Amino acid sequence: MVQFITKCMDPLSTGDYPHSMRSIVGERLPKFTEEQSKLLNGSFDFIGINYYSARYASDASDIIYLHTSYVTDPHVNVTTELNGVPIGPQTASDWLYVYPKGIHDLILYIKEKYNDPIIYITENGVDEFNDPKVSLQEALNDTNRIDYYCRHLCYLHASIKNGAKVKGYFAWSLLDNFEWNYGYTVRFGIIYVDFEDDLKRYSKLSTYWFKRFLKKREKSMKKIQIFVDNNGGTPNV
């Protein structure tokens, strides 16, 4: 994650890739002219973050790769578990493990490294299986999604209290969608789409949760702060 962030953000904030990256990637990494570096330096207005999950990382600098690529460049081992214990509950997608604290840590990392920029959370969400055996009413009762959003908003709020300039948050997603290689086998939306019946749409429980949350923002955030402080269950906001 850090390697990906620095690859994207260092040129925009300093005019060049980090030295550590150049020393590893070598000639595969493009070089900027002096004029290009000047144009790049400070050329962003805000940073958009898509956050869903997190990983454990460990040093792998002693491994020699026969074929190098952007995947092997960081020289780290990445895993979803430590000592056999997952970093968080796994969802319908095999890559998505729920780890709410990660959004807080990532925001503060970016705040410190890139001179306290304006930040937007451009994507944050969780999926469930599109199980044909599950009734419509069961599918609309997405309490796990509410829990996911509540916990992530808790830590997002904490990062703002710690000084991060988070100016916006976008849940992924408004509607169930065609999700990359997963196609229609998973559902990310807070609104259910019936792919078998002319794309009819039905509000899930999370839709009403968000409606209440946004309508009573101040009161909701107080409840959420109590929740994150006590690390208890999902508050009814």
Evaluate whether residue 59 is within a structural domain.
no
Evaluate whether residue 68 is within a structural domain.
no
pLDDT at 71: 84
Half-sphere exposure of 170 (CA within 13 A, CB side): 12
pTM across the whole model: 0.89
- Give the E-state strand segments of the chain in sequence order: 47-50, 56-59, 76-79, 81-82, 85-86, 118-123, 128-129, 165-169, 186-187, 191-194, 200-203
Q: Which domain holds residue 112?
A: 46-54+91-230
User: Average pLDDT, stretch 50-75?
Assistant: 90
Calculate the alpha carbon distances from 217 to 111, 136, 212, 213 in Å: 24, 30, 8, 6
Residue 106 pLDDT greater than 90, yes or no: yes
Evaluate whether residue 135 is within a structural domain.
yes
The number of folded domains in the chain is 1
Evaluate whether residue 4 is within a structural domain.
no
Residue 237 pLDDT greater than 50, yes or no: no
User: Average pLDDT, stretch 25-34?
Assistant: 92
Evaluate whether residue 1 is within a structural domain.
no
Evaluate whether residue 192 is within a structural domain.
yes
The fraction of the chain above a pLDDT of 90, given in percent, is: 76
Identify the residue with better confidence: 47 or 61.
Answer: 47
Evaluate whether residue 184 is within a structural domain.
yes
